[in-house]
Each structure stands twice: as structure tokens, then as C-alpha cells.
A and B are shown apart, each in its own frame.
Chain A
Amino acid sequence: MMAGDNDAGVTAAPQQNNPLARKLSKILETRLENDKELLEALKALSTFFTDNSLRTRRNLRSDIECKSLSINEEFAEAFGRVKEELDDVHADVQAMADCCRDMTSRLRATRTQTHELIAKTTKLQTETQRLEMRASVVDAFLERFQLKPEEVKALRGTRDGSLHDNFFDALRRVKQIHDDCKVLLRTKQQTAGLEIMEAMALHQEAAYERLYRWTQSECRVLNSDLPDINATLCQAMRALQDRPVLFTYSVEEFSTARRNAVVRGFIDALTRGGPGGVPRPIELHSHDPLRYVGDMLAWLHQAAASECEHMQSLLKLVTKEGVADVVRQALAHITEGICRPLKVRIEQVVVSEPGLVALYRLANLLKFYEHTMTPTLTADAPLLACLAEMHDLGRRLFFSGLGARAAKLTERVELPPADLGATAGVSRGLALLAEVLESRDSSVARLDARRRDDLAEVVARVVDPLVQACSVSASRLAAVDMAVYMANSLYLIYTTLSLYEFTDRRLEMLQAQVDAHVDTLVSEQASHVLARAELSHVYAHVRAHAPKQGALSVVAGMDAASVKAAVGRFDAYLASPDASALPQCGLLVSPRTRETVAARSVELVSLAYAQIYEAIGAPENGYGDVNAIMPRTPAQVTKLLS
């Protein structure tokens, strides 16, 4: 830096040292053509300085001053005009400013005014919103809690009593509104709730009343074979379930129509039959009690099944509990009409003495249908009572008839036949019993306790008098004949009964009675054998003898020779035991009884022989060698006889 300053000082020094030179160079350096101001001034000067003279040179200054003055005057004059103009502009701007100020103040005023208005408007707007809100709430409320005019109309029904298409929708609405009112009652709107509820209740009552009337008239005509249960009716029943009384009445109306239809159908089936008489009228078979009654009951069973279906289809939309009971009750009512015509006819058949077996089967048939119909009806259904009554009547007549027949068969005391077989009366009695019991196998009634009792009674009614009759007949006979006769008769009764079930106890009793008679026969047969060999008095002495009486051989008729002779005759029996059989035993019907009598009597005989053998062999009886008198040992005798 220092060096730089030094350098400059060194080089510049020569020029600056001479002012004149400096001035000169400056002048020389002046470039006049570049000085525009000077050029302009010269140009302006050349316009008026045309004549270069002394005078003019002298006057130049004044001339220039003059010239300058005039120019300035011109300037002043021009500016004077400009000023005037500007003054005008100023005035205008002033006016505008005033105007603006005025407007501003006015605007300010307006603004304050507008502000209020806006506030007011906003308030009004919120108010509007609030009101609109309320309006929609009210609309919704009305929508919800008021019926539309067309709904009111739908509820009112038509002039001819039929229902409008949207009746049920309207009714559902009324109900809905009524229910919704309960919600209202829990709010502040209690009065409204109550009023609406009341109005709806009125609507409802009127509508239900109308609906019921319609249903009633609709049901009343449903009395053809196949009732046309249309969808509207089903809807009606569903709606009516809210009014239990009307519902019940409507069901009753329907049941009554059906009841009439069923009665008419029954009478038609009885008297008219099918198309062109095929199938034939049921009454055509009235001569055949079982078929006649069976056809009537089967018809009834089928009719009840159909009616049950009709009932179910009527109530298919009903949702309340216990529809099944309603159906059963209605069926009880529907079938009630049948009772009278049915009862009259069955009674006619039953009292017309169709025969014991037929009566028995009729009673069973009635029981069967009572059973079959029970599930579809109520327990107190008149039809069931009617069937039970008819069953009872048949049953009573059957038993009294059976008793009478048995009594008739046995009233005359018959002498037993020569073959000691059953009397004709007993055979016929047993045939009757067999016939009745036989029909029981084809019986349709279920095996319940009652039926078992019935069977016991059947058997008692027949068997007891028969056994009694046998005893009476037998009382005139000798013991063996009587035993054989009784054994035969009882055996016959036994075999007849043993073919059927539920006779066990009775069979046991009969067997015991047979056994008693067999016992008699056995002892009779044994005595007979001993008597034939004249061993019976020997045996009697042996049994009666007491050791203190002394030796048996000294008793009269019991000497060794007599005993030996008797034993000899007994030997002949041993050779052919059958020859000594009682002739009556051959008349025993049952081979087994015959064998039993034979076997057991042989046993008794062997036993008697053994006792005699023992007595003869006893040394104190003084017979000496027993083998000399009785060559066969008891074991040998038993072996020979078996």
C-alpha cells in the first residue's frame, strides 16, 4: 500500500507541479462539442445574435436579459394558467374528499345499522331452524301417532261389509300406535298419549267389531264338503286372536258351520252313498251289525281327521299359545252333531239282539274307536262320551246275554253220559266260550286292564256255572264214576281255556280241582287192586296191628296160609297189572291223567306190599321165614310194576 502511494506520487508529480500547464491541459482537454449545454446555449444565441457588431456586442447582455425576461414572462403567464387549472383540480379533489368523507360516515352509520339486522337475521334463522326441527318432529309424531286418511278409510270397511285390501295393515297400525302410546305415557306427553290412545282404542274397537262381523258371515257359509278357507280369513283369525272373546266366537261360528256340514255329510253317506250309489250308502249294510257300525265309525274317524285339518288351516297364522287345544275343543263341538244320529243307529243295532259274539265285537269296536278318537278331541267331548256310553251298553248287554245263555245251558240237571264224558250242556257252554274268546283274537281293542277284566268276567260268567252244573250232575254218581266224570269235564274246560291268554289263574284253579279227583281215583284204583287179591284185609290188619297185641300170625285170618294164598293171588295181578285197572279209569279222556292214575296207584300198591312184607318178616309176628310166604321182595314188585 505504502509502495503504491509512493509510485503514484512519483509519476504524477511532474504534471501537477505546473498550474499553468495544468490549466492549459485542462482547457485543451475540454471538448466543446461534448458540452451540450454550451452547444444549446450557442445554438439559441445564434438565433437572435445575427449581427456581430460592437453595438450588438455591447447590447448582447441586455438583449439576452431582455430575451430572458420575455421568456420568463411567457413562463409566468403559462404557469399562471397551469395554476388556475390546478386550483380547479384542487377544488374538485376537495369536493371528492368531502364526498368520500361523507360517504364513509354514512357507511359507518349503515354498518352499525346492518350489524343489528344481521344479528336479528341470524336469530331468526336459528329460530327458523328450530321451528323446522319442531315441524319435522311434529310430522314424525303425526306420522307415528296418527292414522292417514286412507288408513281410516281402510278401517271403515265397505258398504257391503267386505274388508278393504289394506284393512289388516291399517289395523296393525292402529295397534302399533296404541302400543306406542304407552311409551308416550312415560314421557311428559301424557295427555297427548292418553288422547291418542283413546282415539286408537275407539278405532280398534270399531275395526275389530267390523272384522268379527265379516269373519262371522264368512264362516257361516263354509259348510261345504271342502270349505274354501281363504288367506283373508286366516289373517282375520290371526288379528282376532288379540280379542279372545271375538276369537272364540269366530271359532265357534266356524265350528257350527262345519258341524252342520259333517252332519249332512254323515246323513248323505248313510242314505245316499257316493256318485250313482257307489260306494253304497252305509245303511244298505244295516243288516250286518259289525259292518254297519264299523262303516259309520270309520266315516266319522275320517271326517274328524279332515275337520282337524280344516281347523288347522283356519288357524294356521294364529300364533298364540294353545292352538292345539282350540282345535281339539272345536272338534269336540263339530263332532257333537253326529252324536244323536250315531247313537240312535248304534243303539238300534245293539238292542236288536245281534248275537252274543256280534255284541262282544261291537263293544270292542266301540272301545277301539273311543281310543282312536281320543287324541283328536278333548276329554269331555260329547262324541267320546257317546262312544263310551254305547260301548258300555253293548258290554252290559253282552254280559247279561252271556250270563243268561250260560244259565240256560245249565238250568236242566243232566245225567252224565255212560262214557262219563262232559254233558251236552257243558260242551255247548264251552263252544259258546270258545266262540267268544275266539272273536277276542280278532278284536281290535287294545289290551288294557279293562279288557283283561272283561276277559276274566267272560270266563267267570261261563265257567263258573258250568263247573257248578257238573258238580250237580256228578252228585248222583258213585265215587269213582264221579271222580272220572268230574276229571273229564274239568279237563275239557281246562283245555278249552288253555288256548287263550290271561286265563292262567282260572287254569290253576281248574288244575287243582282235577288233581283232587285224580287223588280219589288213585286211592280207589290201589284199593281195587288190593281187594282183588284179597290183600286188602291183610293190609288193613298190618296197619291196624300194634305190637302189644302179640304176634300178628295169631290174628284171625292172618295165619301164614291165608296170607300166602293172598300173596299168590297178588302174583297173578303182577303178571298182568292192566287187567286189574278200574274200568272207569279207561274212560278218562286225558291220556296223561290216565297215566298219572295208573302210575300213582301202582306206587301205592308197592308201598302197601312193602309194608306187608315188613310186618310178615318181623320175628315178633311169628311167621318164620318171610320168603316162604312172600317170595318177592318189595324191590322186585316195584320193578315188575314199573
Chain B
Amino acid sequence: MAAGPYNYSYIFKYIIIGDMGVGKSCLLHQFTEKKFMADCPHTIGVEFGTRIIEVSGQKIKLQIWDTAGQERFRAVTRSYYRGAAGALMVYDITRRSTYNHLSSWLTDARNLTNPNTVIFLIGNKSDLDAQRDVTYEEAKQFADENGLLFIEASAKTGENVEEAFLETARKIYQNIQDGSLDLNAAESGVQHKPSTARGNALNSDQAPSKEGCSC
């Protein structure tokens, strides 16, 4: 009975980036509420959403930070990259300029996150195929060259939205299994529950002070 929506063993932190109007907030809304928000106002600073998913039988809570694409918030939103386990980088397939800016977003993402951060490129608004301004192949090539996962999705129809968020989580989880992601570190973007040992037992001190070299 107590297995409510809060029982998860990991928290993964995501960040959604990309030019204004590409549909970042709509993607988040579609993912968390399964609804399309047709007239979504511009995001002010950052917004926040959560959802619990399951990967390989593990309950994982996604903590998703949706950033504003407007230039004036760049300084603020940059501060949210740190410690993201996953970054969803979004462009609008009907507006070439949003695609052209990807390299600048990617630079930010690479500079401000850690090397294990899973970066997923999303070409949004795939429902507007008639107005397409960026081909699938071109974007796919860009993604391959930069080692990014890639999918075209639509926040409007919901197509591939789930897949993008889940695939990112699967990749992060795989990194954990591989051991390439250090869970003890405070800002790996992944928080892990101490194994379900009861509070009274065993854990009085748990300072993760295994790293002495705080440069």
C-alpha cells in the first residue's frame, strides 16, 4: 500500500536546451502530463517537472529542468547545466536557424556538464513535415559526428517524446551499470538511494569523502 509514487531508487537530473520556441516546454509537458499545450508562454528562467519511469525494473525519478531559450536568460540557464545526467537538445525542424544554433548549444552543454552526460538531440515538430526546413539525414549526420543520440519527435502528437526521455534514461542507467558514472559524487546528476537498510542499522557516518583532491 505504501508503494506510492515516491518509491524510486534513483533520481536522474535532465536539462532541456535549445532556441526559444522550439517546443522545449511543450515536450516536457507532453512527457509529464501527456497533453499538448498549444499556447505555451515563453519560459521565464527555468521551470521544473518530474516523472517516475522504470528502466530495467528500477524505478527512476526524472527531475527535468526546462530552460528558457530567450537570449537574455542564457546567463541564468547556464548555471543549471552543472550536474545534469542528461541533456535534451532541441531544435525545430521547420526553422533552420534553430538547427544552425545547435553547435553553440552543444558547446555550452559540453563545457558545462560532465563528460558522462548523455546528450540527446531532438528534432521537434515532426508533425509539420510539410514545412520541413531541415532534413532527417542532415541532422542524423550532425548527431553522429558529435556522438549524440538523435530522434525526431512531436510535442503536439506525442510521437517519439516518450522514447527520447526513456532512451536517455536507459543510456544513463547503462553508464551506471558500466561503472562509468560515479554515484558517490554529489553532482553526477544521479542520486541513488542508500540500499534499503533500515535507518537504525549501520549508517551513522556516510561522508563520501573518498576523494581527497579537491583541487
Instruction: Point out residues on A near B: beta carbons under 8 Å.
Output: 160-162, 217-218, 221-222, 224-226, 228-232, 234-235, 265, 268-269, 271-279, 281-282, 290-291, 294-295, 297-299, 301-302, 305-306, 309, 312-313, 316-317, 361, 365, 368, 372, 441-444, 446
Contact = CB atoms under 8 A, between A and B. Distances in A.
A444 B76 contact: yes
Nearest to A283: B214
B185 interface: yes
A222 B194 CA distance: 10
B78 A294 contact: yes
A313 B114 contact: no
Contacts of B199: 217-218, 221-222, 228, 230
A444 B114 contact: no
A278 B214 contact: no
Interface stretch (B20-28, B45-53, B150-158): B45-53
Contacts of A290: 75
Contact of A368 (B2, B45, B65, B185): B45
Per CB-CB distance, the 10 closest pairs between chain A and chain B, nearest first, are A231-B2, A275-B185, A298-B79, A274-B187, A313-B6, A279-B82, A226-B191, A278-B114, A275-B182, A442-B72
A234 B5 CA distance: 12
A291 B45 contact: no
20 contacts: A221-B203, A226-B193, A228-B196, A230-B199, A231-B7, A234-B6, A268-B186, A272-B214, A274-B82, A274-B83, A274-B186, A275-B114, A281-B214, A290-B75, A294-B79, A298-B79, A302-B65, A306-B11, A317-B2, A442-B72
B80 interface: yes
A228 B112 CA distance: 29
Contacts of B186: 225, 265, 268-269, 272, 274
Contacts of A446: 44
A213 to B, nearest CB: 12
Given A217-B200, A224-B194, A298 B80 contact: yes
Interface in B160-177: none
Given A231-B7, A291-B78, 5 more contacts: A161-B200, A226-B191, A230-B198, A269-B82, A282-B82
B16 to A, nearest CB: 14
A298 B200 contact: no
Interface string B103-131: 00000000011110000000000000000
B145 interface: no
Contacts of A228: 193-194, 196, 199
B142 to A, nearest CB: 25
Interface in B173-215: 182, 184-188, 191-194, 196, 198-200, 203-204, 206, 211, 213-215
A451 B172 CA distance: 43
A291 B79 contact: yes
Given A273-B187, A279-B187, A368-B45, A297 B2 contact: no
A294 B214 contact: no
Contact of B63 (A217, A276, A306): A306
Nearest to A442: B72
A279 B81 CA distance: 9
Contacts of B38: none
Contacts of A305: 48, 63
Contacts of B75: 290-291, 294, 361, 365, 442, 444
B86 to A, nearest CB: 14
A132 to B, nearest CB: 39
Contacts of B188: 274-275
A275 B211 CA distance: 8
B2 A235 contact: yes
Interface string B41-73: 000111010100000000000010100000111
A557 to B, nearest CB: 70
A293 to B, nearest CB: 9
Contacts of B187: 268-269, 273-275, 279
A228 B201 CA distance: 13
A225 B200 contact: no
Contacts of A279: 81-83, 112-114, 187
A230 B196 contact: yes
Contacts of B79: 291, 294-295, 297-299
B98 to A, nearest CB: 20
Nearest to B5: A316
Given A162-B200, A272-B186, A298-B76, A372 B45 contact: yes
Contacts of B2: 230-232, 234-235, 317
B112 A272 contact: no
Contact of A278 (B1, B78, B115): B115
B211 A272 contact: yes
Contact of A271 (B1, B204, B214): B214
A253 to B, nearest CB: 12
B43 to A, nearest CB: 11
A228 to B, nearest CB: 5
A231 B213 CA distance: 38
A248 B99 CA distance: 52
A224 B200 contact: no
Nearest to A372: B45
Given A234-B2, A274-B186, A305-B48, A226 B11 contact: yes
A301 B203 CA distance: 28
A298 B74 CA distance: 13
Interface in B7-23: 7, 11, 13
Given A294-B79, A309-B50, A441 B72 contact: yes
Nearest to A296: B79
A444 B185 contact: no
Contacts of B76: 294, 298, 365, 368, 444
Given A217-B199, A299-B79, A442-B75, A274 B185 contact: yes
